[in-house]
Structure 1
Amino acid sequence: MKLSCIILDDEPLAQEQVEAYISECEELVLIGKASSMQALERLLKVHQADILFLDIKFRGGDISQIGRLNIKDYIIIVITAYSHKHLTGYNLNFARDILFKPFSLERFKESLNKVISLKAVK
């Protein structure tokens, strides 16, 4: 089963890291990258995604804007450079996992294994 992914991060190096990790996982296919909520919304109008890798803060906004999407349609993995203590102001109950930058390929795959098992249950 292939899972389609979109990355939302306004840092090109962070996008490249996640893209490289996605390419290492045969279960994943990257269908797009965005650096703003508006760009993500445009991608989702054209492509159906299974997994969204979302940074906490991005160009023109932050993850609190995710409510504009029908989030139950997606598995959301948050990626962030913030520490745990800086996340208290955000409601991240919708996130299936959080990856703290910089994260290893092993940690990425661990997160992926969690969400693949969740997708299989649906």
Structure 2
Amino acid sequence: MQYRCAIVDDEPLALDILENYIQRTSYLKLVKKASELATVENLIAERKVDLVFLDVNLRGNTRDIIAQFLRQDCVFILVTAYSSREIQNLYWKEKQGYLGKPASYKKFVNEMERVIPAVKLAMT
């Protein structure tokens, strides 16, 4: 089974790295790359993505906007230069993952293996 993914990050290099990691991972399929939250909102609402890689420090978005976005029925991997402790204090939910920037492919795969059960549950 392939899990449908979207990436939301305003850094082109981060988008490219995550796209490469997704392409290297047989059970993931990239359906959308975006630099703004609004671009993927409909995909999430229509359940066309299973997993969203989300930079929590997007230009023009406050923590409140990000926190509200995370309430949607989807699994999120929070991608950021913030420490995992800072992220846990701000946004953490059981159905979320964390990737620190820059993340190696090994860390990416380890985090995918950790969150896949939550993705499966969200799909039911």
Alignment TM-score > 0.5, same fold: yes
TM category (shorter chain) comes to 0.7 to 0.9
Structure 2 unaligned segments of length 5 or more: list them: none
TM superposition shift of 1:95 = 5.0
| 1:65 aligned partner | 65
- 8 Å CA contact retained: 1:3, 1:51: yes
Q: Can you list the C-alpha shifts for 1:16-53, whole angstroms capped at 9, x where unaligned? A: 01000000101000000111122222544677000010
Q: Partner of 2:118: helix, strand, or coil?
A: helix
Q: Aligned partner of 1:76: which letter?
A: F
The percent identity for this pair of structures is 33
- In proportion to residue count, which structure has more strand? 1
* Equivalenced residues, count: 121
Name the counterpart of 2:77. 77
CA spacing shift, 1:106–1:62, aligned 2, 3 Å: farther
Q: What pairs with 1:29-108 in structure 2 (closer than 5 Å)?
A: 29-44=29-44, 48-62=48-62, 64-66=64-66, 67-68=68-69, 71=72, 73-84=73-84, 86-87=86-87, 90-93=90-93, 96-108=96-108
SS in 1 for 2:90: coil
Worse-matched range after superposition: 5-14 or 85-94: 85-94
Conserved in 1, the CA contact under 8 Å of 2:95 and 2:118? no
User: Is contact 1:64–1:90 with CA below 8 Å preserved after alignment?
Assistant: no
Match of 1:119 in 2: 119
What is the aligned-residue RMSD (CA, Å)? 2.4
TM-score, with length taken from structure 2: 0.81
Distance 1:26 1:88, change over 3 A: closer
Q: Distance in 2 between matches of 1:68 and 1:84?
A: 19
1:4, 1:49 within 8 Å by CA — same for their partners in 2? yes
Q: Which residue of 1 aligns with 2:13?
A: 13
**TM-score under structure 1 length normalisation:** 0.82
Cα separation, partners in 2 of 1:84 and 1:29, compared to 1, 3 Å: closer
